[in-house]
Structure formats: C-alpha cells, structure tokens
Structure 1
Amino acid sequence: WSSGVFGFPSQVMSLLSAPLLFQVRNGHIKRITDNDIQSLVLEIEGTNVSTTYITCPADPKKTLGIKLPFLVMIIKNLKKYFTFEVQVLDDKNVRRRFRASNYQSTTRVKPFICTMPMRLDDGWNQIQFNLSDFTRRAYGTNYIETLRVQIHANCRIRRVYFSDRLYSEDELPAEFKLYLPVQNKAKV
C-alpha cells in the first residue's frame, strides 16, 4: 500500500500499488501506454464483464480495512459494458456492496447490494464515489470501512485511490490528476 505520496497528505491511499488478483476469461488485463495521455495504464477488456476483472485485496480472506470515505477512479471509457463493485462495512457490522455499471438504467437497493447506473463521458473520466453518503442514503447506516474493490472489464485505469475528502486538481500531485501535464515539444 502507498499510504501517502511525497508532498501529498497521508489521507490518500493508492490502490494500484497493492497486490491485485487478476481474473481473466475471454479477455485480457495488461499494462499499456495510452495514446491520449502518453502514460502507462492498466487495460481490462473482455467479452463478458463478469469474467474479466481485478480485485483487491488479492486474498479473499483479507480485507482492505480502508477508513477513508472517498473512492476516486480515473477510468477511460472504452465504449463497451463496464462495471465496478465496492464492498463496505457499516456500523451495524453488515457487509454491503455497491455496484455501478454503464449498462443499467435503474437503481436497486437490496439488503446486501445496491446496484446503480453510471454514465461515462467519452475518453477519460474521474469517478468520485462518496461511500459514506451512499451507505447512509441506501441503508440508513454509517460507513465504517472499505473491505474490497473489484473493477471489471471494459476500461483503462490510470489511478484508483481513497481519500479523506475530495481534493481540487491544484492540490493533487501529477500522477493523481485526470490528465498528465503535457509538455510542449518544439518541432525542429
């Protein structure tokens, strides 16, 4: 785990530096350089979103134990079905799951899972998920911690992190921003 970044508050934890479990069937998970941002990203693609994904922590018996309530993901829309899921623990000691997907049209709240639609713009998106607010609104309980995160096909991931609050672009180090600062190259 990266519990902090030099010059950046320790209330930010980066997920992609943790051990990940890769599950691939009829697809791929690989590091590539994205042409739009000229940066290494993790690409998750598959014909079925349920069979190609990454999950953290890798060990199903362990939990993340992250108490920071904001999940932020910088994701590229590949214009295919995409979903992600976050498992949290609430103050009733109940494990709840939140699943967002770009192919669902209505929100459904069941005792242990809340599924909801998500709209992504073309290209790169910053998904900001207030886990405390969602837990309170869906279940009337209080968020305690995040146990597990699962990101399914089809997307490219630049960064996934947790924070104590939402930070402005000016407060973030370059690797946590939606876009890398582009350096102008002179043509000779």
Structure 2
Amino acid sequence: MFKNTFQSGFLSILYSIGCKSDNADVYAYRSKPLQIWDKQVRNGHIKRITDQDIQSSVLEIMGTNVSTNFITCPAQPAKTLGIKLPFLVMIIKNLKKYFTFEVQVLDDKNVRRRFRASNYQSSTRVKPFICTMPMRLDEGWNQIQFNLSDFTRRAYGTNYIETLRVQIHANCRIRRIYFSDRLYSEEELPPEFKLFLPVPKANNTATSNDQQKASSAPAEQAM
C-alpha cells in the first residue's frame, strides 16, 4: 500500500477522529478511521465512542474472546503495508481486560516474522516465524512504542525491512496508530499526534498514570 510512497517522519494508519485529510495521513482517514482496515467481530463490538477521560472520539474493540474480535490492516488479505519506518506507536487505553496485538514484518532473509504482544502472557517465546511476548500497560491511556528493527534483530538476528500487516485485538480503546522514523519527544510531536487530557478541576486531580508511556461513553457510532 505504502511501498511506493515517500516515507519519513510520521505515517498514520489509524486516527479515531476520522475526519482529517492532510498528506501524511491521506490513506488513514479520509472518511472513516477504518477505511483501510478490515474487521472481525464475534460476541463483541467495534465502534466509535466518546472517551470520558479525553472527551474525544476513540475506537473501542471489545469481545469475550480476543482471537475473534480484531481489526487488521490492510483490509485485503493479499496486500501488504510496505512501511519501512521502524517504530510503531499506538495510543491505547487499558480497559483492564485481556488485550493483544500482532505485527507482521519482512526481514532481510525474505522471511515473514510475526510479533505478538499480550497483557496475559508472562514470558517471551521465540519460534521460527512468530515471537510472542508479555506487555505491561499502566492504568488509563498508554503510548506503546514498538522498535521493530530492534525486536527483529534481537529475536532472529536479522535486519528489519518493512512492516507487512498490523492487527489489533480486543479489548482496548484506540486513539491513533502510526509509524515513525525515530522516537520523538512530546515536544517534537505535531499537535494532532498528542493525547490531550482535559485540565483537571480543583477537586478532581489527574494522576500521572493517565499519560504514562508503556516500556459507559456517549456518542456511539458504528464502524
């Protein structure tokens, strides 16, 4: 999808607002957040809601079974993303339920590898074509930063070439998913890539966990 696109800085593949059309995100949300995604729902739901903490639209994926409720990009099974940027960043809300996501990459041995992170696994397991690992999320909103180049090198001793597919499973809320050429400080991020939390009132002090990075709501809208 993006193989022949000039890639630098930021490349967004999902933005929950779903109404912007700047060049960096032109594929991601011309009309709907899931325009380039496919979805699978069984005994659950995938919909846009208003998150109380940030007072803005987010995408919620919920289900009794994480394996049968997910979104996947690209939507077409035969297509690949072709994204060479090595950092995957996801702004995700911890719903205190089982949650997992998976990234498929291509390395310099022309082998497709999958990395699967979940908050219900306790140890890392490396197999020839899949690496599964534990993931710790803080309470509230998290910024998950995934160094694909480093993980590929450490797990398989090979070099990262590009990302082929991203799959996000239940249970979580998503603000944005994007790739970048490096890790950026909060001050360097464009405003639309930041997670702005409402200024707390005097009797409602926000905790630092609300903005910690990872190392029922109104206005529902069907996706």
With normalisation by structure 2, the TM-score equals: 0.76
- 1:152 aligned to 152, 156, 169, which one? 169
Q: After TM superposition, list the pairs within 5 Å mapping 1:120-159 onto structure 2.
A: 120-159=137-176
Q: Secondary structure at the match of 1:36?
A: coil
Q: Where has structure 1 moved over 6 Å in runs of 4 or more?
A: none
- Structure 2: segments with no counterpart, 5+ residues: 15-27, 29-34, 202-223
Return the alpha-carbon distance in structure 2 between the equivalents of residues 134 and 67 of structure 1: 14
**Amino acid paired to 2:64:** T
In 2 relative to 1, CA 181–106 (structure 1 residues): closer, same or farther, beyond 3 Å? closer
Report whether the alignment pairs 1:42 with 2:40.
Answer: no
* Structure 1 SS opposite 2:53: coil
C-alpha separation between the residues in 2 aligned to 1:56 and 1:40? 20
Q: 1:180 corresponds to which residue?
A: 196
**1:73 counterpart residue number:** 90
1:85 to 102, 109, 114: 102
Q: List alignment gaps of at least 5 residues for structure 1.
A: 3-8
RMSD, aligned α-carbons? 1.8
1:99-110 mapped onto 2 (5 Å cutoff):
99-110=116-127
Residue 187 of structure 2 corresponds to which residue in structure 1?
170
Instruction: Please report how far the alpha carbon of residue 39 of structure 1 lies from its aligned counterpart in structure 2 after TM superposition.
Output: 1.2
Q: Are the equivalent residues in 2 in contact too, given 1:85–1:99 (CA < 8 A)?
A: yes
Residue 92 to residue 57, structure 1, CA distance change in 2 (3 Å): same
Report the TM-score, using the length of structure 1 for normalisation: 0.90
Cα–Cα, structure 1 residues 184 and 101, in superposed 2: closer, same or farther, change >3 Å? closer
Aligned residue identity for 2:190: P
Residue-by-residue CA offset, 1:60-108 (whole Å, 9 max, x unaligned) = 0000000000000000000000000000000000000000000000000
The equivalent position to 1:24 in structure 2, one of 31, 41, 45, is 41
Task: Provide the C-alpha distance between the structure 2 equivalents of 1:19 and 1:80, rounded to a whole number of angstroms.
Answer: 26
Q: Match for 2:144: what amino acid? A: I
**Inter-CA distance 77–38: structure 2 relative to 1 (3 Å threshold):** same
User: Cα distance, 1:119 vs. partner?
Assistant: 0.5
SS for the counterpart of 1:85 is strand
Q: Work out the number of aligned pairs and report it.
A: 178
1:13 is aligned to: 11
SS in 2 for 1:170: coil
Q: CA deviation at 1:166?
A: 0.4
The residue type paired with residue 88 of structure 1 is: V
